[in-house]
Amino acid sequence: MMLPHTADAAPHLGNSTADAAPRLGSSTAADAVPTALGASPHGASGSASSELGRVRPPRHLADLGEGDRAAWLADLGHRPFRARQLSHHYFANLTTDPAAMTDLPAALRAELAATVFPPLLRVAEERRTDRGATVKWLWRIAGGAGVESVLMGYPERVTLCVSCQAGCGMACPFCATGGLGLIRGLSAAEILEQVRLAQVVARRGELGIGPARVTNVVFMGMGEPMVNYQCVIASVRAIAAPPPAGFGLSARNITVSTCGIVPGMDRLAGEGLPVRLALSLHAPDDALRDELVPINRRYPVADVLDAARRYYSATGRRVSIEYAWIRDINDQEWRADLLAAELRRRGAGWVHVNPIGLNPVPGSKWTASRPHVEDRFAARLRASGIPTTIRETRGADIDGACGQLAAAESRDHG
Ligand code: SF4
């Protein structure tokens, strides 16, 4: 579920694009993300979109759970314990470079690394802003579609916003990604590669806060996580598993967002994973939400709020309600009161609201609310006892809601 922009989701980005790509590849040959694009067609609409979505990524070690990795290595004719060595290089050392794998027989390294770590993401574009503390990438995936991730460094945390699909089929009209339509879901390894490559950048100290590590991962980039459920959950498990099984982040620092796919919300509640659920509501009434988030016609406001409340009951994790303010559309005080009433009706202490300003898509009729209107809306929620945190935005001077790079590229090349 893409948010238009939040501090931890999809901030605006800016400045030039091509200069930074080589930095990713500055340490080792295999960690270098190839910048040359393949011969795959560009564009992401109509038949071009379905062409892009037809190609599947090659199998990668990170697609598999721990036990399956050993079985795969055995199938390839290698000793099963090689799986643990390779996992350590990937998840702990963050490398796929055979030259760094000195615990493997020299004769095996290159062949093994090429087999289990096929390149999945190529840098098509990189933008940095906020004095280097925010990095946004447009990646090229197998088949040629573009997906985005955003890395944000703060003194106390480093947050990565990942994509789980190329494009999105949910068709929210204010969203650049929605305009692309669904191209295809990402594999677990394609999601995990976003984390690994961001972790490399953080570890090298490129965010201007010294050597750091990604502490938080939010599934708020391109795509609706509940539609690519299995790959999202597999990647969540690997992000949270301690090395060498995974990257070793706290599951509590992982946020899975949704536009309100009720069966997916209930399924997530039963996974035994203490991840945070973010529900992108954007309107408290069906009349408006039917328009802003078309899946609402299938899962209306009352049903998604009930599911969010069940999520809290099952996990003890407070649910985030995401609310993108859109000028004169959803920012009226009466809607703040209605939202507060709907949340209060379901109990206290289970939810908080994160309103954010809309980062408008160029050419769209949807635009950002006025600051004093936003302040009044937030004040009404707080006066009703609803914890409310207005999200800080970054780089608000320049373009870049999530999906805009891919959408712009689609327009250029489609
Ligand atoms: S179209 Fe998809 S990515 Fe965009 S806001 Fe809707 S659910 Fe999120």
pLDDT digits (tens, 9 = 90+) for 242-258: 999 999 999 999 999 99
Cα–ligand 1 centroid distance for 2 (angstroms): 5
What is the overall mean pLDDT for the chain?
86
Q: Same structural domain for residues 48 and 85?
A: no
Q: Same structural domain for residues 271 and 222?
A: yes
Instruction: Kindly report the backbone phi and psi dihedral angles of residue 125, in degrees, each rounded to the nearest multiple of 5, phi listed first.
Output: -160, 145
Which of the four pLDDT bands, split at 50, 70 and 90, describes residue 410?
low
Residues near ligand 1 with C-beta < 6 Å? 1-2, 168, 170-172, 175, 177-178, 222-224, 259
Hey, which of 161, 172, 361 would you mutate to test ligand 1's pocket, going by the most ligand atoms within 8 Å of its Cβ? Answer: 172
pLDDT score of 218 more than 80 = yes
Cα–ligand 1 centroid distance for 258 (angstroms): 9
Q: Same structural domain for residues 107 and 249?
A: no
- Which protein residue's CA is at the shortest distance from atom 1 of ligand 1? 178
What is the mean predicted confidence (pLDDT) over 127-149? 94
Note the pLDDT of residue 392. Answer: 72
| % residues pLDDT > 90 (the chain) | 75
What is the mean predicted confidence (pLDDT) over 88-104? 97
pLDDT score of 14 more than 50 = no
Task: Tell me whether residue 2 is in a domain.
Answer: no
356-375 per-position pLDDT tens digit: 988 888 778 889 999 999 99
Give me the CATH number covering residue 366: 3.20.20.70
What is the mean predicted confidence (pLDDT) over 158-180? 94
Which structure tokens are listed for 395? 């780089």
Note the pLDDT of residue 313. Answer: 98
Task: Tell me whether residue 166 is in a domain.
Answer: yes
Strands 134-140, 254-258: pairing kind: unpaired
Cα–ligand 1 centroid distance for 292 (angstroms): 10
> Cα–Cα distances in Å, from 129 out to 86, 132, 149, 183, 404?
34, 5, 14, 28, 16
Q: Same structural domain for residues 108 and 131?
A: no
Q: Same structural domain for residues 129 and 80?
A: no
Q: pTM here? A: 0.88
Q: Same structural domain for residues 223 and 132?
A: yes
Catalytic residues: 148, 402
Q: Same structural domain for residues 252 and 358?
A: yes
- Which protein residue's CA is at the shortest distance from atom 7 of ligand 1? 1
What is the mean predicted confidence (pLDDT) over 97-102? 96
Task: Tell me whether residue 16 is in a domain.
Answer: no
Domain count, the chain: 2
> Cα–Cα distances in Å, from 100 out to 177, 323, 353?
38, 46, 46
Q: Same structural domain for residues 230 and 108?
A: no
Note the pLDDT of residue 142. Answer: 97
Q: Which residues, 6 or more positions from 55, have their beta carbon under 8 angstroms from its beta carbon?
A: 40, 142, 143, 144
pLDDT score of 3 more than 70 = no
3-class secondary-structure state, position 168: coil
Task: Tell me whether residue 267 is in a domain.
Answer: yes
Q: Same structural domain for residues 107 and 170?
A: no
Cα–ligand 1 centroid distance for 181 (angstroms): 10
Note the pLDDT of residue 28. Answer: 35
Strands 216-219, 165-167: pairing kind: unpaired
Q: Torsion angle, CA of 377/379/383/384, rounded to 10 degrees?
A: 30
Whole domain around residue 68: which residue ranges? 61-116
pLDDT score of 1 more than 70 = no
Q: Same structural domain for residues 341 and 293?
A: yes
373-404 per-position pLDDT tens digit: 999 999 999 999 999 999 876 655 444 566 66
20-70 per-position pLDDT tens digit: 232 333 333 334 333 332 323 223 334 556 677 789 999 999 999 988 999
> Cα–Cα distances in Å, from 141 out to 58, 120, 191, 256, 345?
11, 6, 11, 22, 44
- Which protein residue's CA is at the shortest distance from atom 6 of ligand 1? 172
